[in-house]
Chains A and B, each alone.
Chain A
Amino acid sequence: MKELTIDATVENIVAVTSFVEAELEALDCPMKAQMQIAVAIDELFGNIAHYAYNPDVGPATVRVEVMESPLAVVITFIDNGVQYDPLARQDPDTALSAEEREIGGLGIYMVKKSMDEITYTYKDGQNILQIRKNI
């Protein structure tokens, strides 16, 4: 298990992505799964950066674990900002035309569709969002 605690800012998405990718490369993770995980980090860490401590800045912890049989990567995002369950949000209507479309909710929806599991827990004042990707 490896862990990184860093200020939850949009600029730090790059550092979090590099941290996770270093772990994935050691696993020979297929490129497509790596990219899906990078998108998930952009969406999830980006959400924390935008909303958890707004308008202040606070810390977030990103934990990477490797599971065996089946081989999977589990990434956990922890912050102690405002309680927010992104999974409670209704899925966007993906059948609307360009004029009617809204982008809100699309990021978390993409993560739900590309990961094998996503769970949210609020415990001891912490938002704990966990994704699992089988590789």
Chain B
Amino acid sequence: MKITKSQNGNNLTVALEGRLDTNTAPELESVLKNSLDGITELTIDMTALDYLSSAGLRILLGAQKTMNKQGSMKVANVNDTIMEIFEVTGFADILTVV
């Protein structure tokens, strides 16, 4: 998986490319852990993400909880497969999917 960060003031966009699964989720967890200080708007851009498994959902849930305390979080540009995963798991209600 490729992770690209772009920051503009307190806004951070994290773009994901490839697969967010058991092997790659720790990379995203580590990037987010080190990047969210002072961030009030976080966008996870999934334009180039193929799919995610429950390991990825765990990281998104952690990020959402952090951002609930300090600002807001959006998940952008999800494909059909990922949207279905969000709907089946109830994550469509937890996350702000735009």
Contact = CB atoms under 8 A, between A and B. Distances in A.
A106 B94 contact: no
Given A10-B23, A14-B23, A42-B55, 12 more contacts: A31-B81, A32-B80, A32-B81, A39-B51, A46-B22, A95-B93, A96-B90, A97-B94, A98-B65, A101-B90, A103-B58, A114-B84
Contacts, number: 73
Q: Is the interface of B mostly helix, strand, loop or mixed?
A: helix
B18 to A, nearest CB: 11
Contacts of B51: 35-36, 38-39
Interface of B: 19, 21-23, 50-55, 57-58, 61, 64-65, 68, 80-81, 84-85, 88-90, 93-94
A114 B22 contact: no
B19 A38 contact: yes
A94 interface: yes
Q: Is the interface of A mostly helix, strand, loop or mixed?
A: helix
Contacts of B84: 114
Most buried by A among B50, B53, B84, B93: B53
Contacts of A13: 21-23
Nearest to A106: B54
Given A94-B90, A98-B64, A106 B57 contact: yes
B53 A107 contact: yes
Contacts of B21: 13, 38-39, 42, 46
B58 A98 contact: no
B65 to A, nearest CB: 6
B55 A98 contact: no
A46 B64 CA distance: 24
Interface string A28-66: 000110011011001100100100000000000000000
A114 B64 CA distance: 25
B53 A42 contact: yes
Given A46-B55, A99-B65, A110-B53, A11 B94 contact: no
